[in-house]
């Protein structure tokens, strides 16, 4: 009896694993038909919330040594913001965000003026 119960539980878990998974509709990074990354511009805020707010504050107002990002676009261009994301600056380590996500975040932040 124990073997049957264990088999039923295991089978159920396999079914749930096969049917479940990530929510592709809300994924920040998606693959295009050629295998390249495509990031929706609306996802930039989600990426920032997941990667930047611990240091820059929940509203990007800055805290501690991390500067405010609420008007970073008035100070830096998209290319300059992308360079900071890639290379790091001050206490910020490099490549916290990479690839297509970094591009979309840099553009989003550049519009904050």
The number of folded domains in the chain is 1
Is 11 part of a structural domain of the chain? Answer: no
| pLDDT value, residue 35 | 56
Is 15 part of a structural domain of the chain? Answer: no
Q: Identify the domain containing residue 83 by its residue range.
A: 24-110
Is 10 part of a structural domain of the chain? Answer: no
Q: Is the pTM of this model over 0.95?
A: no
Is 8 part of a structural domain of the chain? Answer: no
- Residues in the chain with pLDDT < 70? 1, 11, 13-42
Rounded Cα distance between 60 and 17, Å, is 37
Helix (DSSP H) and strand (DSSP E) numbers for the chain:
6, 2
Is 19 part of a structural domain of the chain? Answer: no
| pLDDT value, residue 4 | 77
Is 40 part of a structural domain of the chain? Answer: yes
| pLDDT value, residue 27 | 42
| pLDDT value, residue 3 | 77
């Amino acid at each position: 009896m124990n073997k049957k119960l264990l088999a039923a539980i295991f089978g159920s878990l396999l079914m749930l694993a096969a049917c479940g998974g990530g929510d592709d509709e809300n994924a920040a990074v998606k693959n295009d038909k050629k295998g390249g990354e495509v990031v929706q511009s609306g996802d930039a805020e989600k990426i920032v919330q997941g990667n930047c707010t611990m240091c820059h504050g929940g509203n990007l107002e800055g805290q501690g040594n991390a500067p405010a990002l609420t008007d970073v676009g008035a100070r830096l261009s998209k290319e300059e913001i992308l360079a900071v994301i890639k290379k790091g600056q001050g206490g910020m380590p490099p490549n916290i965000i990479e690839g297509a996500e970094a591009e979309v975040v840099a553009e989003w932040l550049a519009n904050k003026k």
